[in-house]
Amino acid sequence: MKIVILPDARAVSCAVADIIVQEVRRNPQAVLGLATGRTMEAIYAELCARHKGGIAELSNISSFNLDEYVGLSEEDPRSYHYYMRENLFSTIGIEANKGRLPKGAAHDPEQAAAEYDVALAASGGVDMQLLGIGENGHIGFNEPLSGLSTRTRVVALAKATLEQNAKMFGGDYNNVPKQAITMGIGTILEARSILLVATGSAKARAVAQSVEGALSASMPGSALQLHAKCIVVLDQGAASELG
Ligand code: F6R
């Protein structure tokens, strides 16, 4: 693992956007693994600015997002489909069928999850996987005690995650969908490179245990220690519990 510690969240977003742009310059048709959430918003804003400014041409990439809530339509403003259109896809002009997310609204979410792994394999696999981390150490929606070799599947969300994500659902964690489809930890580890990003001191414990702690299913982020090409980009707050 390579750890990069930067002064603040803005520096983190710029550095991560630069790494992604370098990857896409090297391979304009790169397959990116993408994430949602607050940490990613600033990164996507940086990528959109680089695309609009002609610094990067991002329209030829294809992508697979990590996760989607079960039961939300793709038009629902709280869905990750909507988030991706708003924050990245509509600006970079990626074709709809090339920016893929798990179909959380599918009649049979288990089947949709299995099909997602098939589509991922058919694409040749992820070149660079962008990851955030939950305060409880989840990656994607692989909550503590997820198996380290899990594949894309339907999962139940931990109470900590419902609380972390309640803001989008009127502030009440009872309104957050209780299930999601997520790439598994095994699926994530198959990416050719991984970029884990965390900002803010609320992530410090999960970061320290993932990077320096024991490899353990109770800290899903620790599975990244198994990956030969993983860069961790942190601000001072997220790095504050590193030894
Ligand atoms: C979202 C995802 C999650 C988030 C994590 C951090 O697609 O996979 O693992 O990356 O919950 O979320 P934020 O950035 O909102 O703190």
Q: Is the minimum distance from the CB of 41 to ligand 1 under 6 angstroms? A: no
Q: Is the minimum distance from the CB of 67 to ligand 1 under 6 angstroms? A: yes
Residues with Cβ within 8 Å of 165's Cβ and at least 6 positions away in sequence, in order, are 157, 173, 176
Active site residues: 67, 136, 138, 143
Q: What is the pLDDT of residues 31-63, one digit of tens each?
A: 999 999 999 999 999 999 999 999 999 999 999
Q: Which of 65, 81, 84, 133 best tests ligand 1's pocket when mutated (most atoms within 8 Å of CB)? A: 133
- Give the Cα separation of 192 and 147 in Å (integer): 20
| Closest Cα to atom 12 of ligand 1 | 37
What's the pLDDT score for residue 96?
78
What's the pLDDT score for residue 202?
97
Q: Is the minimum distance from the CB of 37 to ligand 1 under 6 angstroms? A: yes
What's the pLDDT score for residue 240?
98
ipTM: 0.99
What's the pLDDT score for residue 95?
86
Quote the Cα angle for 77-39-243, to 5°.
Answer: 150
pTM: predicted TM-score of the whole model, two decimal places: 0.97
What's the pLDDT score for residue 218?
97
Q: Tell me which residues of the chain have a pLDDT lower than 70.
A: none
| Closest Cα to atom 2 of ligand 1 | 140
- Give the Cα separation of 93 and 60 in Å (integer): 9
Nearest atom of ligand 1 to the alpha carbon of 35: 7
Domains and CATH numbers, the chain: 7-193 (3.40.50.1360)
What's the pLDDT score for residue 98?
96
Contact 157, 180 (CB under 8 A): yes
**What is the 22 CA–ligand 1 centroid distance (Å)?**
23
